[in-house]
Each structure stands twice: as C-alpha cells, then as structure tokens.
Chain A
Amino acid sequence: MTITRREFIAGVGSITLLASPVFNVRAAGLQKRNLVIIMLRGGMDGLTAVPPRDKRLNSARPDILVKKTQKLTSDFDLHPSLETFHELWKAGQAGVVHATNIPYTKRSHFEGQNLMESGGHVPYGESTGWLGRGLEAAELGGLAISLPMPLLLRGKVVQDNFYPTHMSMPHKPELMTIAGSYPEGSALRKAMEKVISRPKSMMQQSNSNDAADLADTAATELARADGPRVAVFDLDGFDTHAAQGGDDGAHGEKLSDYDEIINRLRDGLGDAFDNTLILTLTEFGRKLDQNGGYGTEHGYGTAIMMAGGLVKQTIHADWPGLKSKELFEGQDLNATIDARAVYCSAMAACFDVDFAYMRKHTFWDEPLPDLTDALFKV
C-alpha cells in the first residue's frame, strides 16, 4: 500500500497535537480536557497586549501608545487586535496573569525560549520540556503536528508528530527493513516505530497552506472524543525592536495572528471549547521605554493570556507598578509571579492530576504556588 497524503503547510507557524487516547489507556477514563499552548516567540509585550491604566505609559511610549483599547477592568485594558479574546472575556471565558515571567532575567531570546520550554533554570541544561514531562507524569501519550518536535514536548518517551505532505512513502515491508537498520532503542528507531504504527486516522488531508486553517484542523482533532488532548502552536515575530506600533504596527499584527488562532479554535471546537484551556508562552516581555525606532528592547515581566471554557474571568496579578524604582533593573515591568506556577496549574487542571504530584514530576518540586482554583474552573 502506498500512502498518499496531500500538502499541508503552515505559513506562520506550526501546531502540535498531543496525547491522543488512541495510544493510551489512562485517557480513556478521564473527562477529556484540552490544553492548547501558543508559544509567542521573540518577546511578547504584556504592556501592549494588556496595558495597565497608568499615565507613565504615555510618557514612556509616546509614539507607540495603544489608544483604541478595549476595556477589561478598571485597571487594565486590551489591545484592539484582540477582538476574539475580548468577546471571550465578556463571556467569562478569558483571563490574564500579568507581571509574570519564567525566572530568567538575562534578555537573550534563545536562552529564554529554551527555559520557557524546558522549565529549568540553566539554559540548555535540560533535554526535556515541561509539557513532555507532564504528559509522562499523567501517563498520557502524544502526537504532534509540526515538522520538528518542539523542546516543550520532548520527554523520555518519543512523542509522535504529524504534519501532512503530498508525497508518497515506502511500503510497509520496506519500512520494516529500514527500521531494522536503526539501532535498537535509538531515537531514530523509536521515531520509525511511531511511523509504522500510525493509524489511518492520521493520514488526514488538507490542501491549505494557511496557518489559520491549520488551527481549524487542530480544532477538529481536539474536538473528537478520542482525539488528541494537547495542541501546541508556534508563532514567531514578536521581537519588535522597530516599528512595533501602538494600535497598528508589527506587534498588533502578531497579536492579531494569535487572536485568529483562538477564534478558529473556538469555532472549530464547538462544545469542546468549554473543556479547553488555551495558554500563551513567551520568553520575556519588553522594556517600558520605547526606543528611537518606534520599537522596544528586550525586557522582563509580561502577561500570560488564557482563553477557553476552563478559564476564569480574572486578571491575576501582584502588580509591581511602573514607577522607576518599581521597575526591574530600572527599565522593565517586574515579574512577581513565576510563570511556571501557571503552567503547572494548567497541566494539573487539564490532565486531572494533583498539583503537588505534577509539580514534583515536572518542576523538581520547586515551591511554586497552586493557582488552579484562582485561574481555572475545575
């Protein structure tokens, strides 16, 4: 049998779908809750996405001020590009954790992204990601939709991934022969075993190369009762050193890409959206002051945007303030909440495991507070 699959290419990023119950036993007994992670690479600016009502922003960012904001609370507004997010907020299905970041302060994208995915403290010190470890701890297997396997999802177990192509593969006997050339137990052999054991349902087709359509596909898969439980999107382009803009501009456009993904997920998931949690990750925020090129430099504290039926309508923050003495190193919004507490709480909520158990298996039992009740409806 020659397996033919049609072309399916992501324009903006890639998605990863995980934890298909096809592969595991434990998931069969669980209520199906979906966890979607959207990685915003380059440093998403929490002060642009969810600006606080503080006049200091006006003087710090005269040329890139967000003006046509949408109201969230008496203290915080929302960027005009985040239309879907605002609708969800009004429906009680969106929330924000603000002034948060991973415990990393050195402003390098690559170290920061590595830590945002690994959850550790030493850049490049871990070969697994916190979601990969969390899935293992929850005894859930995995399936990814993206060409490479993001660090976030790597664990001791090799996760599967999926990214359609129109090309043909060798027949099964040839695949068995090829697998035989790979050393027993090697990562190559494990990857090949995933390929060989693929169910027909993974030979899904799409002729679209539009990133938003990729979100539709992810939603369809997540909505299936026996479909995957976790999806990961990867969006880059948030590193707006120049032409960041306020209402319009590069940062707003990227936020709009994010908003379109949650829009498509909401529509595609239907009722399953009620049992879904969509979380953003980024490596750091951006400096309070704009630079001379209408952009901003690498900063520290930022916001996590959360959407979906499992999210409580809240802005969860221990707000540090924007006075110069309140800023981190005199230049950035400080981070007062360890973002990993949010990640760990989200996994505990979605994978139906105890927070302390999850913390032990994914974050080395570091003293992260349990935010499950504060943030999620589970």
Chain B
Amino acid sequence: MKRDFFRKVGFGIAPGESVPTDPLAWAQAQMDAVPDLSWKGDIPTGEALMDHYAHWVYTDRKVLRKKHKKDRKAYKAAKEQLRYETGERFFENLELAIRHDAALNSGAPVFERLWFFWANHFAITDKDFMPEFTTGAYHRDVLRQHMTGSFVDLTKAATTSWAMIHNLDNSESIGPNSENGRRRRERGKVATVNENHARELMELHTVSPAAGYTQDDVIALSYVMAGWEHKHTKKRQECNPVHFNQRNHQPGTHTVLGKQYKQRGLNSSNKLLDAIEDLCAHPDCRRFIALKLCRHFICDQPTDAMMQPIILAWEDSDGDLPTVHKALLQVAWDYTGIEQKFQNPEVWFLQMVNMAGMAWPPSPKTMTYTFKNKPRRDQRKPESMLRELGLLPYRPPQPNGFSDMSSDWLSPELLIRRLAFSSESGTRISANLDFDALIDSNFDNADEIKAYLSPFTTRFGRAETLFPSYWMLMA
C-alpha cells in the first residue's frame, strides 16, 4: 500500500489513527484550505509581538544603557529583567510549541509539511531579535495564510513583509537620484541602494542563478525596490510597519532581465509588484521551485521526469499553489518506495513523537508565562531540544535556509543525536504502546522490522532500535 508515503509527505500514522484508504486523495484534500492552528493556548498576534520587540529594543538602547552607563552590573541585571518582561526568552519556545502542535494535531499534516517547506524557502535568518519576536509570527501570518493562493501572491506578501524587509536590509536602501538621495549627496553624504534583498529575491526566492541575471540586473532591481522600508522612530526604533516611501525611491524606468519597470499611478510602488509578477512567471522560477519541492520530498537529485508534472501544473494554473502542491503529491506518491529521502532532524523527531504517541509539545498550561521570571526549564524545552538535534527552524544561519541535501544532515555527531533521542524516547512512551500496530500502520515491510526488533522485549530497547533504524530515517 506504500505506507512510506505517510512519512514521505507527513508525520506518519499515530496510535489509534485509522490509516487512510486512499493516501493520495487524503493528502491532496489537505491542500485547498488553510487549517486552523490547533494550539489551544495563547497565540499572540504579529502586532502584539512587534510591540514586545519595540519595547525590548527601545528600553534597552534608549533607557537602560543611559541609566546604567557607569554600572555594568546594574545594566546587566536590568536587561535580564527586561528580557522576562518582554518575553524575549519565551516567545521562540511558544512559537515552536504552536508549530509542532500544528504538525501533530491540525488534522492536515501534509499541509503542515508544506508550511515547513515554505517557511524555509522564504527563510528569515537568525538576525537581531527576529527568532525571539518575529519569525514564528511571520510563518503563521504571512506565509501560512497565502498557501492556498498563487505563488506570486505568496512572494509579494513575503517580500513586502516587515520580516523580510528588515532581514535583508531593504530599509537601508536609498536610490541615489531619489529626493532623499540627492539631499544626502548635497550634504556630502553617501546615498546608494542596498543590493541584499534584490539579489536574494532573484537568487533564492524566485528565478535562481539559472536565469543568468547580471550585476546590472541586481542593481536595477535594487532601484525598483528602493523605498520599500520600515520607519525608524525613537519610541519604537525599527519596529514600525513596512510602507513605500517615494522619497527614497530611485526615479525612472529600470530594466531587470530585459523587462522594463516604470511608474503607473501616483507613486512607484507598483514597480516592485510588477517585477515580482514577471520574476514569478519566468520559466526558471517554476523550474527552481519544482526542483526544491522534489529535493525536499523525493530525493537529493530530482530528475526532469519528477519535476515536469509540477512545472506543467504550474503553467496550467499560473502558479496556483494548491494545484502545484497536488502535482507534487502525485509525484511523491508515484516515487514512494522507489526514491527515499533522508528525513531532516525536526521532521524525523515529529514522526517519532507522532507514531509513538508521545506527549509533545508542552501543554498550553505549561506554556503559560508570567513575564516576571526566567521561563522555566520545561518552558524552554522546545528550543533546547531542537538546538540539540541541530535544527532550530527560526534560526537558519543564512538566507538560503536549511539544506535539503542528505550530506548536510549526515555526520557521526548528527547520527548520535538520533541515537540519543531514540534512547531517551523509551522513558517518554506509554508502557502500553503497541509496537506491532505502530509498525503495521507505518511500514510495508512490517515482517522485516518485527524480526529486527524481536531481540528486544522492553519498550526501551524497542524504541531505541526502531527509531534510528534505516526504515525510520528514510521515507
């Protein structure tokens, strides 16, 4: 029946869960609507988190540093207290709990796997205090909400989000001939664009280097983007919404990959949105996304035969994401049992937790925070655990996100983490867990796996040998 499929595109089958009789239809049916987040506790809004962020940076930079200018120890103590007041040590853990709860309990695990995928595609790096206050909410509010629309709308939303604008420095970009640029130069100051965001918009988010863009294209797209920024104010520092500031925008018509962008209407904000339309419609964009989807779900080196149905679905639907996702799932189904993918540490961990019915994430009650003291150890567990495993989803070191290549997840030490987590899982699973049922629901080679486990009679021995086994690591 190709039971590997439940792990290839999901988190496996939980104890007591009935096995879908038509797995492909089950998976595809999850693509049409954004499931509600299953977390029963508090889910702070992006705005509320931004208020915490603003309070944190303003108070630290403008109040505490001045107040305790001469007393380093007092400054450190006051700053520590501010961490608790603003939830600086807490929210990343809460976001991880919300993320993992969705994976395990939203009822649409395949949708959640794709959510993880897009969160990593439009990656926000570990910069400033974004993992603490921003990235989780950006995944929930900006990316997740656009997963049932078109790729171009998702890209527009990600590109103009506070998270991406701030992460890739676009607020620092000033068109040299813009109103502010000319004024700055008259005063002998430098006024240039910041190329960071424009480059990654092409390289990582849309067309990829395969499109053959040049440095001139990067600069032209930086001109197109100049003016998309967040204000910097005294009371909120950089924590203000993104807007388009015509006075920093480079006037004129700019040519990117042979296409011209000029102002339509009262300001030039349309230029970026027009450019995103063209980038997303570029053949190298759909090819690049198809490659990344296949690489994430099917194998390290996807073939044209795998990518082609996804590219065709994209062309037929103008990049409608549910259509593209369904095409991917069809390919994943076709290749289940033929191609296997080494599961990354977070996905593997969630599969283990789900299949063994372990209590995870911490409960909403545990994650109720008082904003007075340091979060307790049990409240910091999500972050400390994922750090140990080697994948903190809100902290990719670079804007290309976490790798989907097996070789980047395969080292003796990373294997030791799988072994250690499997070993410890024995203490966290129910004494009544029916291993035979677990194996029957999730694997096609149930007899082989049962024979493999037969020397081990306790749940400890069975857990620590089953979870790091080849059949569990690959799907």
Complex CA distance for A42 and B304, rounded to whole angstroms: 33
Name the residue of chain B whose CB is nearest to the CB of A13: B397
- Name the contact of A165 in the complex, choosing from B193, B408, B416, B464 (C-beta under 8 A): B416
Given A146-B413, A182-B470, A241-B172: A165 touches B194 (CB 8 Å cut-off):
no
- Which one of A111, A177, A181 has the highest number of Cβ atoms from chain B below 10 Å of its Cβ? A181
Given A161-B412, A167-B388: A292 touches B419 (CB 8 Å cut-off):
no
Proximity string of chain B (188-225) to chain A, C-beta cutoff 8 Å, 1 when within and 0 when not: 11111111100100011000010000010010000000
Chain A residues with CB under 8 A of B192: 289-292, 297
Docked-complex contact B174 and A106, CB < 8 angstroms:
no
Docked-complex contact A241 and B387, CB < 8 angstroms:
no
Chain B residues with CB under 8 A of A175: 419
For chain B, residues 135 to 179, give those with C-beta under 8 angstroms from any C-beta of chain A: 168-169, 171-174
Name the residue of chain A whose CB is nearest to the CB of B184: A292
Per CB-CB distance, the 3 closest pairs between chain A and chain B, nearest first, are A293-B172, A167-B420, A292-B174
Name the residue of chain B whose CB is nearest to the CB of A298: B195
Docked-complex contact A292 and B469, CB < 8 angstroms:
no
- Name the contact of A181 in the complex, choosing from B188, B420, B455, B469 (C-beta under 8 A): B469
Given A123-B209, A289-B190: A149 touches B415 (CB 8 Å cut-off):
no
Chain A residues with CB under 8 A of B195: 241, 297-298
12 contacts between A and B (CB under 8 A): A63-B190, A106-B215, A123-B209, A127-B407, A147-B414, A149-B411, A165-B388, A170-B464, A188-B342, A241-B169, A291-B192, A295-B194
Docked-complex contact A329 and B469, CB < 8 angstroms:
no
Complex CA distance for A107 and B219, rounded to whole angstroms: 12
Given A178-B419, A188-B415: A241 touches B194 (CB 8 Å cut-off):
yes
Docked-complex contact B390 and A147, CB < 8 angstroms:
yes
Stretch touching chain A among B37-45, B349-357, B421-429: B421-429
Docked-complex contact B199 and A108, CB < 8 angstroms:
yes
- Which one of A165, A191, A236, A291 has the highest number of Cβ atoms from chain B below 10 Å of its Cβ? A291
Chain B residues with CB under 8 A of A169: 416, 419-420, 423
Given A291-B190, A292-B173, A295-B172: A148 touches B411 (CB 8 Å cut-off):
yes
Proximity string of chain A (123-162) to chain B, C-beta cutoff 8 Å, 1 when within and 0 when not: 1000100000000000000001011110100100000111
Chain B residues with CB under 8 A of A298: 195, 199
Proximity string of chain B (437-475) to chain A, C-beta cutoff 8 Å, 1 when within and 0 when not: 000000000000000100110000100110011110100
Chain A residues with CB under 8 A of B423: 167-170
A contact residues, total (Cβ < 8 Å): 56
Tell me if B382 counts as interface (CB < 8 A to partner A): no
Given A174-B461, A242-B194: A192 touches B172 (CB 8 Å cut-off):
no
Chain B residues with CB under 8 A of A191: 410-412, 415
Tell me if B251 counts as interface (CB < 8 A to partner A): no
Complex CA distance for A88 and B125, rounded to whole angstroms: 35
For chain A, residues 221 to 242, give those with C-beta under 8 angstroms from any C-beta of chain B: 236, 239, 241-242
Tell me if A195 counts as interface (CB < 8 A to partner B): yes
- Name the contact of B410 in the complex, choosing from A110, A163, A188 (C-beta under 8 A): A188
Docked-complex contact B181 and A292, CB < 8 angstroms:
yes
- Name the contact of A107 in the complex, choosing from B189, B199, B408, B464 (C-beta under 8 A): B199
The minimal Cβ–Cβ distance linking B236 to chain A, given in whole angstroms, is 18
* B positions within 8 Å CB-CB of A: 168-169, 171-174, 181, 184, 188-196, 199, 203-204, 209, 215, 218, 342, 387-388, 390, 397-400, 406-417, 419-424, 452, 455-456, 461, 464-465, 468-471, 473
Chain B residues with CB under 8 A of A174: 456, 461, 464-465
Chain B residues with CB under 8 A of A144: 411, 413
Tell me if A185 counts as interface (CB < 8 A to partner B): no
Docked-complex contact B465 and A177, CB < 8 angstroms:
yes
Complex CA distance for A110 and B452, rounded to whole angstroms: 42
Tell me if A18 counts as interface (CB < 8 A to partner B): no
Tell me if A187 counts as interface (CB < 8 A to partner B): yes
Docked-complex contact B419 and A148, CB < 8 angstroms:
no
Chain B residues with CB under 8 A of A188: 342, 410, 415, 470, 473
Name the residue of chain B whose CB is nearest to the CB of A163: B413
Name the residue of chain B whose CB is nearest to the CB of A145: B413
Complex CA distance for A331 and B218, rounded to whole angstroms: 14
Chain B residues with CB under 8 A of A148: 390, 408-409, 411, 414
Docked-complex contact A109 and B398, CB < 8 angstroms:
yes
Docked-complex contact B194 and A162, CB < 8 angstroms:
no
The minimal Cβ–Cβ distance linking A60 to chain B, given in whole angstroms, is 9
- Name the contact of B412 in the complex, choosing from A108, A194, A242 (C-beta under 8 A): A194
Docked-complex contact B413 and A181, CB < 8 angstroms:
no
Chain A residues with CB under 8 A of B470: 181-183, 188
For chain A, residues 199 to 240, give those with C-beta under 8 angstroms from any C-beta of chain B: 236, 239
Name the residue of chain B whose CB is nearest to the CB of A192: B415
- Which one of B189, B215, B387, B390 has the highest number of Cβ atoms from chain A below 10 Å of its Cβ? B215
- Which one of B193, B204, B406, B468 has the highest number of Cβ atoms from chain A below 10 Å of its Cβ? B468
In the complex, given contacts A127-B407, A236-B397, A293-B174, what are 12 additional A-B residue pairs having Cβ atoms less than 8 angstroms apart? A41-B397, A109-B399, A111-B209, A148-B411, A161-B413, A167-B423, A178-B419, A195-B419, A242-B169, A291-B193, A295-B172, A298-B195
Given A188-B473, A192-B415, A298-B195: A149 touches B420 (CB 8 Å cut-off):
no
Tell me if A9 counts as interface (CB < 8 A to partner B): yes
Complex CA distance for A167 and B389, rounded to whole angstroms: 11
- Which one of B387, B410, B422 has the highest number of Cβ atoms from chain A below 10 Å of its Cβ? B410
- Which one of A192, A194, A241, A295 has the highest number of Cβ atoms from chain B below 10 Å of its Cβ? A241
Complex CA distance for A154 and B403, rounded to whole angstroms: 16
Chain B residues with CB under 8 A of A182: 470
Name the residue of chain B whose CB is nearest to the CB of A154: B407
Chain A residues with CB under 8 A of B193: 291-292
Chain A residues with CB under 8 A of B174: 292-293
- Name the contact of A147 in the complex, choosing from B168, B413, B452, B468 (C-beta under 8 A): B413
The minimal Cβ–Cβ distance linking A188 to chain B, given in whole angstroms, is 7
Chain A residues with CB under 8 A of B412: 160-162, 191-192, 194-195
Complex CA distance for A368 and B418, rounded to whole angstroms: 43
Name the residue of chain B whose CB is nearest to the CB of A243: B172
Name the residue of chain A whose CB is nearest to the CB of B222: A297
- Name the contact of A241 in the complex, choosing from B196, B209, B464 (C-beta under 8 A): B196
Proximity string of chain A (269-307) to chain B, C-beta cutoff 8 Å, 1 when within and 0 when not: 000000000000000000001111101011000000000
Chain A residues with CB under 8 A of B422: 170
Tell me if A321 counts as interface (CB < 8 A to partner B): no
Given A62-B190, A167-B388, A191-B411: A177 touches B455 (CB 8 Å cut-off):
yes
Complex CA distance for A146 and B168, rounded to whole angstroms: 27
Complex CA distance for A62 and B191, rounded to whole angstroms: 12
Name the residue of chain A whose CB is nearest to the CB of B426: A170
Docked-complex contact B411 and A242, CB < 8 angstroms:
no
Complex CA distance for A123 and B174, rounded to whole angstroms: 31
Docked-complex contact B465 and A107, CB < 8 angstroms:
no
Given A144-B411, A195-B415: A110 touches B203 (CB 8 Å cut-off):
yes
